[in-house]
Structures are given as structure tokens and as C-alpha cells.
Amino acid sequence: MKFKYVVVGAGLAGITVAERIATQLHERVLIIEKRDHIGGNVYDEYDAAGILVQMYGPHTFHTNDKEVFDYVCQYCDWHEYQHRVLSYVNGNFVPMPISLETINQLYNMNLSEDEMDAFIDSRKVKIDEIKTSEDVVLSQGGKDIYEKFFKYFTIKQWGVDPSQLDKSVISRIPFRKNRDTRYFTDQYQGNPKGGFTKMCQRMLNQPEIKVLLNTDYKEVIDDVEYEKLVYTGPIDYYFDYKLGQLKWRSIKFIFETHDCESYQPVASTRWPMDYEYTRITEFKKLTGQKNDKTTILKEIPCDGEEPFYTFPTAEWKALAQKYRDLAAEEKNVIFLGRLAEYKYYDMDDVIRRALDVFNEMQN
């Protein structure tokens, strides 16, 4: 097989680069994907109840980057949606991130913006040197907010106490002094009508693009003649784990379909104290789909083979940097995306990065 470009991975990063190569350069590009589907972690499909569900956890698109938004809209019709998240605390749902509305509901008060400042200041814990994530929250929000919103949630999310995590993991608590209860404040928010997989299919619907699924690239790459490789898989796997295997946090997904029209007040709820799961997503509320039944997803963070979140401690950041140093020495290989850069990206950020990488490839 002969292609000028080979892309490893059919997630948003790889698909965006391949689409640009095909439509702008009119060059043949081969995408090699180990899973049996395209889309990476934004992959969605209709379940037995006819409800569109996101198989690797909830995704909602948000950005202030008009170029990225316009790029996405070339390949989908847009469903406008403002994401709101409620956190289950003390037997009630309160808005998250923490806002004036959250504080008033949590403590049954009617504070003004100025009074909220004074209330938070009165609860802060004085800490001489901020070293850990626990220190960050205690110094900015106090013990009660720390325990209700952060301590146990962090233990569930990462499997370690916040006192063991570097301060950069929770660098600041985003207190909002107004009553805006939206989770994101970006100018452009929503989801593609019909789902992200449909959008990705449209992006790949180019005669120059060939997609090879169910394939580990190492099994076939020696049989492919190419000039440039764009690698979006795990960076340590590329180097055969020669420096050791990077640590990732994985997720156990539990899907449930319920015989009711609505399961919870909003699309996404957080569970910082109760139960072993951290989040419940009700997909109909993300997409606007109508159905007499509803499907939810419970997420339980865990250690596992499937990489979802980079592990936010100095040890793994240092090892990732050693791998990035090796990657910089590779000729004709571009390392792109969450897995290849050991870096968390929102969807708009990974598309922005892919567009920038494509532009750099032409120079």
C-alpha cells in the first residue's frame, strides 16, 4: 500500500488532520484504528431503546474559537444546548461550578455578591505554603466546601486523597459571584444533530481517505509506503514502553434504560460524597431527543487498561516529558492529541491543535 500520509487513530485529532489533508492537499491518507469504529471517545450510537448514547462518557461541544466552531459546522447541523451540572450534596442538587446560587441554596441564605465574598473569606483556612490540592481548596473555600465538593470526589476520581495530589490538579476553585449556573460560559455551545459519529463520518467522506479498523498499526505499518506519520495513540506504546508504562485513570461505564421520560433534573449530575460513581448522564437532555424511555450512564473511575485521564502527579508528568523528548527526535512523525501528548484536551482544543499541526505540516 502506498499513501503519502498515514494517521494512527480515528479520534477527533486524527480525523481532523486526515480531513484537512484530503480536502486541502488532495493527497491520499490512510487512517489505521485499533477499535472497530471511528470517532474515538466521542463515538455515539443508538441503543436498544432508540436513544442516542455516547459510549465513552458525555461530550458536549463548547468553544470561544469561531474558526473551530465554523469548521465543525461544515460537517453537521447544530443543536444548541447550554450545559448545566448539578452536584448532589446533603440530599439536594445544587449548581456546579460553585456560584452565588450554589452558596445560597446550600446554606439556605440570600447573599449578595459582596456578602458572598465575605462569607467565603470567613471560612478560608490560613495555610502558609500551598503544596497540595487539599491546601488549595482549604485556603480558598474552607473545610466545609472542601469536604462537600472536593475531598471525596477527588478520592473517587483519582484513587488518592487530595493531600497526595500536587496543587496544580486543583489550582483554583472557580467561584462565580453571579447567578449564572451554566457549566460553560463559552460563546458557542451545543452538539451535532444526529451525534458526533455522524459528524465524523461526514468528515471522512472523502475519496482520498481510507480507514482501516480493528487494526493495530504496528501489525501493518511495515507494509505501507508513506512519507509522513501522524500518531495519535499512546506515546509510551509507540516506543514499546522502553521507559516504562505511563499511568492513566480509566472508567467503568454502567448504562441503564429506565421506563420513564425523565430520570434527573439536568443532563449531568455529580456525586461528590454518595455512592461509588462520580457522575450520571441522561443523554436525551444533551441531544434534545424525544422518547418515552430514557437512558442514563453512571461512571465509576478505576484503574484499567483503557486510558481516559492522564494521571496528574509529578511522577507521571516527568515520565511523559521523557517520552516527549524521545518523540521530538523522531523524523517524519507528528505526535498529536491526548494520548500521544499525555495531555488532557477538550474537543475544541484538540481540533484547534489538529488544525494548527496541519498548517505547520505545510511549512
The grid cell for 7 is 494517521
According to DSSP, the residues that pair with 5 across neighbouring strands are 29, 228
pLDDT recorded at residue 304 = 86
Residues 332, 221: Cα–Cα separation, whole Å: 14
Query: For residue 363, which of 334, 321, 343, 341 has the smallest C-alpha distance?
Result: 334
Which residue numbers are catalytic?
Answer: 172, 176, 249, 279, 299, 344, 346
339 close to 233: Cβ distance less than 8 angstroms: yes
pLDDT recorded at residue 78 = 96
φ/ψ (deg, to 5) at 179 = -100, 15
The SS3 of residue 346 is coil
Residues 159, 306: Cα–Cα separation, whole Å: 16
Describe the crossing of helices 12-20 and 196-204 by its angle, rounded to 10 degrees: 30
100 close to 181: Cβ distance less than 8 angstroms: no
Q: pTM of this prediction?
A: 0.94
Cβ neighbour number for residue 344 with a 10 Å cutoff: 12
75 close to 69: Cβ distance less than 8 angstroms: no
Which domains, and CATH codes, for the chain? 5-73+188-246+310-361 (3.40.50.720), 96-164 (no CATH)
The grid cell for 119 is 462569607
φ/ψ (deg, to 5) at 194 = 85, -5
Tens digits of pLDDT across the chain (363 residues): 899 999 999 999 999 999 999 999 999 999 999 999 999 999 999 999 999 999 999 999 999 999 999 999 999 999 999 999 999 999 999 999 999 999 999 999 999 988 999 999 999 999 999 999 999 999 999 999 999 999 999 999 999 899 988 888 887 777 888 889 999 999 999 999 999 999 999 999 999 999 999 999 999 999 999 999 999 999 999 999 999 999 999 999 999 999 999 999 999 999 999 899 999 999 999 999 999 999 999 999 999 889 999 988 888 999 999 999 999 999 999 999 999 999 989 999 999 999 999 999 887
